[in-house]
Amino acid sequence: MTGLAGRRQRLPGRAIARPALCQVALGLVSLALALACLTLGTIRLTPLQALQALAGQESPALQLLVDWRLPRIGAALAAGAALGLSGALFQTLLRNPLGSPDIVGFDAGAFGGAMLALLAGLAPALVALAAFGGGLAAGILVYLAAGGLHAERGRLILIGIAVGAAFTALGDWMIFVAPLDIALVAANWKQGALAGVDAPRLAIGAAILGLLLPLGLACGRLVEALALGDDKAQSLGVPAGWARLRLGLVGLGLTATATFIAGPIGFVALIAPQAARRLVGSAGLPLATSALFGAAFLLASDAVARIALAPRSLPVGAVTACLGGAYLALLFGTWIRRGERLR
């Protein structure tokens, strides 16, 4: 990462404009994708028809859009933004482009918690709380087993993989013991639950995100300071220990909320921050751009999932997994060329 920081010295004049430009561009892309998603499906609408239906009175088209397509788009945008931001926070925290919450098992923890609540038949708000509890449990386990966040980066990731594997085993077991109808819901959820998102779940998730997104975005200064290393951060007046704890807690909250809304969708938190950094051309991971990229990425993946094998619709997790595999191949290719080792 230090090599990258050295290579990407920016020209002073572009320093302010480029992130803002990227954010506006990503916002426009998301808007265009949202409009496209409104028109896609078994009942095709032209963009004009969709907008007219939204502006107009009661009509079957309005019913379709409000009941089905708008919640799905909202869920994709909200979960994508949360995942992108939490990925940026965790990758900074773990000092590793692969240290994202889906690889180190935090979303497996959140899913385990949510499954438990789902099996017990609890209300949506309690399921959200259980998702957060599961994610927190996974985080605490990793923290304790690694002996603190200062551990060597490879060690934290291995321990995260171990904890994730244990929680995945638990989740699979719960799917195994559940009655078939609940098991189907749970397994669908595990691969991305955008299709089944309902108004109460989206409302609760959006309310939590309304609190957590600003908190996460406000960590920008901490992220920049931590990217310089603990000693530099300390000398800039940022106590590294507290900064890490705050990043970790907000990141866990964001992961758990995204899991609650849309299931443990992999690879968004992994890809979005790195792609955002390349777009912006900064040394550290840009938070707002990561969130926007995550939102656009998940929405685009959902569009692909809906039209790739139409009329059958794929789980969105399968689409992000395929895109994620391609991304990892690219990433490893660069590492091998540079002869970098993960020590």
Partner 1 sequence: MTRAPPLAIVFGALLLLAASLAALTLGLRPIAAGEWLAILRDGRGSEAAEIVLGLRLPRVLLGAMVGSALGLAGAVVQMATRNPLGDPGLLGINAGASLALILGSDLVGLAGPQAATWLAACGAAGAVLAVQALAGARGGADPIRLTLAGVAVTALCIGIGQAIALADPERFDLVRNWRVGALSGAADAVLPSLTAAWLAGTLLALALAPRLDLLALGDDRAASLGVAVRPTRLGSLLAVVLLAGGAVAAAGPIAFIGLAAPHIARRLGGIGAVAHLPLSGLIGAALVVSADTLGRIATPPAEVPVGVVAGLLGAPILILLARRRSAAA
Q: Residue numbers of the site for partner 1 (CB under 8 A)?
A: 98, 102-103, 145-147, 151-152, 154-155, 157-159, 161-163, 165-166, 168-170, 172-173, 175-177, 180, 183-184, 187-188, 190-191, 266-267, 312, 314-315, 317-318, 320-322, 324-325, 328-329, 332-333, 335-336, 341-343
Crossing angle (nearest 10°) for helices 124-146 and 153-177: 140
Q: How far is the CB of 297 from partner 1 (least distance, A)?
A: 16
Residue 229, phi-psi category: left (phi > 0), alpha (psi -120 to 50), beta (remainder): left
Q: How far is the CB of 168 from partner 1 (least distance, A)?
A: 7
Q: How far is the CB of 313 from partner 1 (least distance, A)?
A: 9
Shorter beta-carbon distance to partner 1: residue 213 or 314: 314
Shorter beta-carbon distance to partner 1: residue 18 or 190: 190
Write the DSSP string, 277-293.
HHHHT-SS--HHHHHHH
* Inter-residue contact 70 to 59 (CB < 8 Å): no
Shorter beta-carbon distance to partner 1: residue 133 or 315: 315
Shorter beta-carbon distance to partner 1: residue 173 or 242: 173
Cβ burial, residue 68 (10 Å; 0-12/13-18/19+): middle
Tokens of 323: 């895109």
* Inter-residue contact 238 to 221 (CB < 8 Å): yes
Q: How far is the CB of 338 from partner 1 (least distance, A)?
A: 11
Rounded CA-CA distance 158/146 in Å is 9
Shorter beta-carbon distance to partner 1: residue 197 or 283: 197
Shorter beta-carbon distance to partner 1: residue 183 or 227: 183
Integer-rounded Cα radius of gyration of the chain: 20
Q: How many Cα atoms within 13 Å fall on the side-chain side of residue 154?
A: 3
Q: How far is the CB of 302 from partner 1 (least distance, A)?
A: 14
Q: How far is the CB of 303 from partner 1 (least distance, A)?
A: 16
Please enumerate, as own/partner, the contacts of 224-230 that have beta carbons within 8 Å and a separation of 24 or more.
Answer: 224/284, 226/92, 226/93, 227/92, 227/283, 227/284, 227/285, 230/150
Give CA 286 to chain center in angstroms.
15
Q: How far is the CB of 333 from partner 1 (least distance, A)?
A: 8
* Inter-residue contact 81 to 217 (CB < 8 Å): no
Q: How far is the CB of 271 from partner 1 (least distance, A)?
A: 12
Shorter beta-carbon distance to partner 1: residue 242 or 335: 335
